Amino acid sequence: MPKPAHSVTNFEQELRRGVLTLAILSQLKSPQYGYSLRQLLGAHGLPIEEGTLYPLLRRLDEQGLLRSEWKIADGPPRRYYARSAQGERLFRELSAVWRSLAATMQNLMEKGR
Amino acid sequence: MRPEDIIDDYVAAVAAQLPARQRKEIAAELHSQLMDELTAAEARDSDAALALVRRYGRPAEVAARYSTPVTIIDPADTRSFAIAAMAGALLVPPVNPRLPISVDRPVGSLLVLAWIGTLVLFFAARAWAIRRWPERFVFTPKPPRAAINIPAEWCAALALIMLEVVYLSPAPIVDFVSGGRVPADHLAYSTSFVQPLRMWWFALMLPLIAALHFTAALRRSWNAIARALASLFLISAGIQLNWNASYGDILANVTNDLAARLTFQLAGSVLVLLGLFALYRQWASVSLPELKRRFSQA
């Protein structure tokens, strides 16, 4: 007997997880701190849980894709992140992959109707 | 409790599980991020702070998200680990003082723990090696094997029949083979052993297993039921031997009886393990020709 299907939310979360890195890189042309980036992504329709976003920022920083520094600007000290040169290259490459993937998916979904 | 205290306590719990070189930096950043979230919350009270940290996750999970967690046993190896742990536990000598080889309960428990500890070390080293040299652990196909080895089936059946003959009358056979150098009475069974409930169950198992091997050799294949029966008979025969080794004397000659009981215990344990291994292999295997046949009919 087949197992009950997962809820749509689970599949949606999986889809969103796959595009997180690209979404983050897209918004870090200029420096942002964790909370402001989360608000920015949420305002563009991509809400991300804080427990997912903040550790991911840190990992991207350690991989050299972001550069970060502590700053004090209108409030307590915060760590600001922006794309590094390596992150810039990755952003361009991933953007091309995303466009190609989106076109392929569009094509597949239209044929699947 | 003040909301700030809840955040502080949470950050401390996460920091305690982080690698030392990252601890201070991540703790400071996490604290700053959580305080930003709390400041933006509608109600800046203890309930909001508690809801925030609970949404963030269990401290150990959060700490793991900040770095690649060290895996002691690779999740992909968990099944092999559990099977190896159970198989090893079966090899530990039993806690039965009536058997020639037995251990005290604390020693038995220690041996099981030592085995599990050894396995943890082995699997940890294996997980490390797989991460370090992934190319050495890629799948390598084995040469195809015949589904059944007919000569081996005939040999197994004949060996079982010979074992049956030796088991039923060891003294005359050893007397004949040794040319009279080993006196027959040295291997004569005791009156207790030749009781129907002791000697004959094992004697019944051997021809049954031999018959299954003969049938497989004649039909040039094993079917699933026959194979499972052969394994179950093997396990039953092994249990019989072990039970006889613990129940009482086997040979009338007291000097040789200990050696006979020891032989029964060791042979019985080997049979039980072989039977369990055969059952496991049968359970874990798939017959591709059968699957292809079934799917082509569907």
Residue ranges of domains in chain A? 10-112
- CA-wise closest residue to B252 among B193, B179, B203: B193
Distance from CA of B219 to the nearest CA of A (A): 35
Residues B206 and B266 placed together within one structural domain of the fold:
yes
pLDDT confidence of residue B217: 94
Residues of B in contact with A51 (CB under 8 A): 55-57, 62, 65
Cβ of B29 within 8 Å of Cβ of A58? The answer is: yes
End of a domain among B92, B108, B137?
A: B137
Q: Nearest by CB to A35, which of B26, B36, B66?
A: B36
Residues B165 and B114 placed together within one structural domain of the fold:
no
Residues B111 and B37 placed together within one structural domain of the fold:
no
Cβ of B32 within 8 Å of Cβ of A79? The answer is: yes
Residues B243 and B131 placed together within one structural domain of the fold:
no
What strands, in cross-sheet order, belong to the sheet with A66-72?
Answer: A32-33, A77-83, A66-72
Domain membership flag for residue B144: no
Q: Give the other-Cβ count within 10 Å of B124's Cβ.
A: 16
Distance from CA of A41 to the nearest CA of B (A): 15
Q: Nearest by CB to A51, which of B40, B62, B67?
A: B62
End of a domain among B108, B137, B166?
A: B137
Domain membership flag for residue B169: yes
Residues B33 and B86 placed together within one structural domain of the fold:
no
User: B78 at the A interface (CB within 8 A)?
Assistant: no
What is B93-104 written as a DSSP string? PPS-TTSSS---
Cβ of B36 within 8 Å of Cβ of A33? The answer is: yes
Residues B103 and B200 placed together within one structural domain of the fold:
no
Q: pLDDT per residue over B251-263, tens digit each?
A: 988 888 999 999 9
Query: In sequence order, which residues have a C-beta less than 8 Å from that of residue A44 and are 6 or more positions away?
Result: A27
Domain membership flag for residue B50: yes
Q: Give strand pairing partners of A33.
A: A80
Average pLDDT score over chain B: 90
**In the CATH hierarchy, which fold is given to the domain comprising A10-112?**
Arc Repressor Mutant, subunit A (1.10.10)
Cβ of A50 within 8 Å of Cβ of B37? The answer is: yes
What is the span of the domain harbouring residue B204? 150-297
Q: Which residue in chain B has the smallest CA separation from A38?
A: B37
Q: Nearest by CB to B57, which of A35, A51, A58?
A: A51
Q: Based on the structure, what is the number of domains in chain B?
A: 3
End of a domain among B110, B137, B164?
A: B137
Residues B129 and B197 placed together within one structural domain of the fold:
no
Q: Give the other-Cβ count within 10 Å of A106's Cβ.
A: 10
Residues B88 and B49 placed together within one structural domain of the fold:
no
| Collapsed DSSP state (helix, strand, coil) of residue A44 | coil
Average pLDDT rounded to a whole number, residues B227-231? 95
Q: Given CA atoms B30, B36, B40, B42 in this order, what sign does their dihedral have? A: positive
- CA-wise closest residue to B13 among B27, B2, B3, B25: B27
Residues B158 and B247 placed together within one structural domain of the fold:
yes
pLDDT confidence of residue B44: 83
Q: Nearest by CB to B55, which of A49, A56, A59?
A: A49
User: B21 at the A interface (CB within 8 A)?
Assistant: no
Domain membership flag for residue B142: no
Residues B50 and B125 placed together within one structural domain of the fold:
no
Domain membership flag for residue B244: yes
Q: Are residues B103 and B95 in contact, defined by beta-carbon separation less than 8 angstroms?
A: yes
Using a 10 angstrom Cβ sphere, with 0-12 exposed, 13-18 middle and 19 or more buried, the burial of residue A15 is: exposed
Query: In sequence order, which residues have a C-beta less than 8 Å from that of residue B182 and are 6 or more positions away?
Result: B174, B175
Tokens of B142: 């084995």
pLDDT confidence of residue B121: 96
Ranges in chain A, pLDDT < 50: none
Q: pLDDT per residue over B60-89, tens digit each?
A: 999 999 877 778 888 889 999 999 999 898
The least confident of A46-55, B89-98, B209-218 is B89-98
Q: Which residue in chain B has the smallest CA separation from A60?
A: B66
pLDDT confidence of residue B218: 94
Residues of B in contact with A52 (CB under 8 A): 65
Q: Nearest by CB to B33, which of A50, A52, A56?
A: A50
pLDDT confidence of residue A78: 93
Work out how many CB contacts closer than 8 A connect A with B.
Answer: 44
Cα-based angle B28, B56, A31 (whole degrees, multiple of 5): 50
Percentage with pLDDT > 90 across chain B = 60
Q: Nearest by CB to A55, which of B35, B55, B62?
A: B62
Query: How many whole angstroms separate alpha carbon B157 and alpha carbon B124?
Result: 43
Residues B199 and B254 placed together within one structural domain of the fold:
yes
Q: Which residue in chain B has the smallest CA separation from A59?
A: B66
pLDDT confidence of residue B26: 93
pLDDT confidence of residue B144: 80
Residues B219 and B272 placed together within one structural domain of the fold:
yes
Cβ of A58 within 8 Å of Cβ of B32? The answer is: no
